[in-house]
Amino acid sequence: MKWCWWLLLSVLPLHADLAKEWDKEIVPILENYCFDCHADGVKKGDFSFDAFTNIATMQAKRDAWKRVRENLAYELMPPIDKDQPSTDERRRLIAWIDAAVFPVDPKNPDPGRVTLRRLNLFEYRNTVRDLIGVVPDTQLLPPDDSGYGFDNMADVLTLSPTHLEAYLNTASQALDKAYGIAAVPKRLIDPRMMKGSPAYEDDIFTMCISGRRSMQLDVKPGKYRITFRLSGQQAGDEKVKARILLGSVINEITVANTDSKDFAITAELTEEQHAMGVEYLNDHWDEKTQADRNLLVHSITLEGPLDQQRKRNLLLFPDRKDGQNDDAYMATILRNFLSHAFRRPATDAEIASYAGLVKAQRKDKQSLEDAMRPALEAAMISPQFLFRELHAVYSLDKPGTILPVPELSLASRISYFLWSSAPEDSTLSLAANKQLRPLLKEEVDRMIRSPKTSALVDRFFAQWLQYQDAAFIAIDSKLYPAAAGSLRDEMIMETKVFCEDMWKNNLPVTRLIDADYTFVNESLAGHYQISDVRGSEFRKVKLPDPARRGILTHGSILAVTSNPNRTSPVKRGKWVLETLLDAAPPPPPPNVPSLPASHQGISSASLRAQLELHRKDPACASCHKLMDGIGFAFEAFDVDGSRRKGPDIDTKGSLASGEMVDSPASLSKILATKRADEFHRAFAVKMLTFALGRGLDYYDKPAVDKIVAHAAKNNYSLHSFIHATIYSYPFQNYRR
């Protein structure tokens, strides 16, 4: 449930008797502006006040009153061609609705309902990886639905028979790999250890003259793989040509890329033949361009021997104690595996049940490890593995009772929030000993420092900001050829690296919208007309264009808020409202015609004129008043994130509250200063939604208030929002 909380009056009505206030103050306002269409037998829009005879009937139909409140808050009702209530009258109506229909008592909070939640694909992938050491192939599984902008919402994570069969096949394939997994030795070889043809040995080993560099490997006989990461400095008509060799095997290659690329070769090494090397074949100097053709060796990696015997997967099969019989060892394996799979200590009854399956399925002369495959597969498709929030389902307390989330379940809540995976042994141990809550701050800080928190960027930030969608949206490649190549991936990487930097450095969340820097590599810098950036690595650069700020002008964001062949002030304005202010306008009314498409692009002036004409329709005016003025501020930036050219570009616009904007930079200044409270609250709403796996409701307002208040005391740092979310009442408690 999305709320425009930034419009809520801080002081509720002073009258104790809300029913009397309804008759004396609220009904007269509604009579002036609403009853002609929504009372006295008239029911436009399928809504009438006639149905509500008292506050109890209003509370029984909160969804209907949610729409009333939103229409008032967004100034969608009354229609723009009707008489409008004053600002004070709107606020009085909204305040009364909040007090009467959506009462919230901060002293008696409601943590909200809990729905049994299936692991989504990303969570399942990570959980299996951490359980058995193998990344499963999730392509076999049906895609997840999304709700409230995220794919971890409990209400949409259903489980069908098709799902269950796919989970079984996926688990079986993952266990195939886990059973055959072997620790293949891998080591890096310094290119400077090779001898032979002259080369430059500075930052990157560079073969500048045709010839061979090689060395003898000090390895045991066996099968090996060597990988050369190479690139070429190109000159003349030919691409760089080379040979790579290992033992008696020689492969000729063409190094066509200026970016580094891997070239691998596999061979059987013997006592006599155990050399490796690389040979540069076509050195060239171009007199006209003064360009030199060279072969660059970035790294060399040796793997092997590849044909060694299969080693025990210690995640599945811990070392067997001396004298331990099969039954005892099987119980050890099952206790270890089930406790990790179920994210809690396995019970004796569960261990006995799965042990019975092993004994029933075991064949003559079959090893115990192989006989346990069916039991492990069964555990990986059980509800205890596939679902979360089981504590709410198995609780014996009376429905409606408010209870603290059990510490073992809290461990999973925190881990899946931060890591999208199961908690580690140390966290489960704290929870099992009732020490997680007393040591919560220290444990959360430890988890934040883990590399696994990259999952929060990949899932929360990518879905909230929608930059991941730039990978597959349609963009007209004739109008925007740059977006047809690798540049699209680099635009996504820019936003990802930006968010990762915020996370690592615990920056204020307003850096998302007001940063005067970004992260680019050479090709993306060229696209943005940023000079003096070389190479494929992303690095932090100051934005030379004063109109660019934060993620607002990242190519990924500008692309997902555009149409395939032109910019869209409407989409861009809607994205700002919905994503950054949690104030999404309602969907358009039915049968509203779209703006005419154009295969030739569309001029800024023409687009603006069409939108102004569109806004003359009373059915469209209210919503477009909210969106268009914001969207016009982005008109200097094209679909692919580049600067637009042309004398007719008009970037002047305004927010519904009256502030004037003429660029993303001027918009970011308003959002980060005058409207910072709204932005911080919206961020808290989005993060709490993601953490809980459900949409927020009116009773969640006190929790959001406390999250924002805690963040305010800590400079609104990203980590402070994390801590406050985990400490929040609905995260720590649940309603049976």
**Tens-place pLDDT, residues 155-209:** 999 888 888 999 999 999 999 989 876 567 889 999 999 999 988 877 789 999 9
Q: How far apart are CA 62 and CA 44, in angstroms?
A: 19
Can you tell me the distance from the alpha carbon of 131 to that of 124, in angstroms, rounded to the nearest whole number?
Answer: 10
* Count of C-beta atoms within a 10 Å radius of residue 199: 21
The Cα–Cα gap between 486 and 62 comes to: 49
Question: In terms of pLDDT, which residue wins out, 240 or 602?
Answer: 240
Q: What integer pLDDT is reported at residue 362 of this predicted model?
A: 93
CA atoms of 133 and 378, how far apart (whole Å): 18
What are the tens digits of pLDDT across the range 427-468? 999 999 999 999 999 999 999 999 999 999 999 999 999 999
Per-residue confidence at 615, pLDDT binned at 50, 70, 90?
low
Burial readout 3-18 (b: 16 or more C-beta within 10 A, e: otherwise):
bbbbbbeeeebeeeeb
Q: pLDDT by residue (tens digit) across 493-513?
A: 999 999 999 999 999 999 999
Reference 75, options 22, 1, 17, 7; nearest CA is 7
Token pair for 599 = 């295969």
Using DSSP's 3-state secondary structure scheme, residue 538 falls into coil
Distances (CA, A) of 358 to 179, 333, 367, 374, 377: 16, 12, 11, 7, 11
Under the banding of pLDDT at 50, 70 and 90, the label for residue 3 is: very low
Beta partners for residue 517, in sequence order: 542
The amino acid at 339: S
The neighbour count for residue 303, using CB atoms within 10 Å, is 16
Tell me how far apart the alpha carbons of residues 712 and 293 are, in angstroms, rounded to a whole number.
Answer: 57
pLDDT band, very low/low/confident/very high, at 620 (cuts 50, 70, 90): low
Percent of residues in the chain assigned helix, strand, coil, to nearest 5: 45, 15, 40
Encoded tokens for 29: 């306002």
Q: Kindly report the number of other CB atoms within 10 A of residue 469's CB atom.
A: 16
**Residue 2: what pLDDT?**
38
Contacts of 220 (CB under 8 A, 6+ apart): 305
**Amino acid occupying residue 215:** M
Q: What is the DSSP string of 328-394?
A: HHHHHHHHHHHHHHHTSPPPHHHHHHHHHHHHHHPPTT--HHHHTHHHHHHHTTSHHHHEE-HHHHH
Predicted local confidence at residue 608, as pLDDT: 60
CB count in 10 Å sphere of residue 156: 18
Chain-centroid distance of CA 497 in Å reads 13
Q: What pairs with residue 285 in β-bridges?
A: 292
- Give me the mean pLDDT over the 673-702 stretch: 96
Which value, in Å, is the radius of gyration of the alpha carbons in the chain? 31
Q: Is the omega angle on the peptide bond into residue 318 within 30 degrees of 0, that is, cis? A: no
Ramachandran region, residue 247 (left: φ > 0; alpha: ψ -120 to 50; beta: rest): left
CB 194 within 8 A of CB 277: yes
Sequence-ordered list of residues with C-beta below 8 angstroms from that of 176, at least 6 positions apart, any chain? none
Q: In whole angstroms, what is the distance from residue 372 CA to residue 650 CA?
A: 69
Q: In this structure, are residues 663 and 657 in contact, taking their beta carbons and an 8 Å threshold?
A: no
Model pLDDT for residues 390-428, shown as the tens digit of each residue: 988 788 888 889 999 999 999 999 999 999 999 999 999
| pLDDT confidence band for 14 (50 / 70 / 90) | very low
Are 122 and 459 within 8 A, CB to CB? yes
Distance of alpha carbon 639 from alpha carbon 645, whole angstroms: 13
Residue 6 banded pLDDT, cuts 50, 70, 90: very low
- Residue 575 pLDDT > 90, yes or no? yes
- Phi/psi of residue 420, nearest 5 degrees: 55, 40
pLDDT value of residue 628: 79
Give residue for tokens 């599945």: 316
pLDDT in tens, 536-572: 999 999 999 999 999 999 999 999 999 999 999 989 9
Name the 3-class secondary structure at 425.
helix
- Compute CA distances 492 → 135, 515, 519, 573, whole Å: 24, 17, 11, 20
Q: What pLDDT shows up at residue 182?
A: 54
| Tens digit of each residue's pLDDT (9 = 90 or more) over 648-657 | 788 898 887 7
Tokens of 250: 């020689």
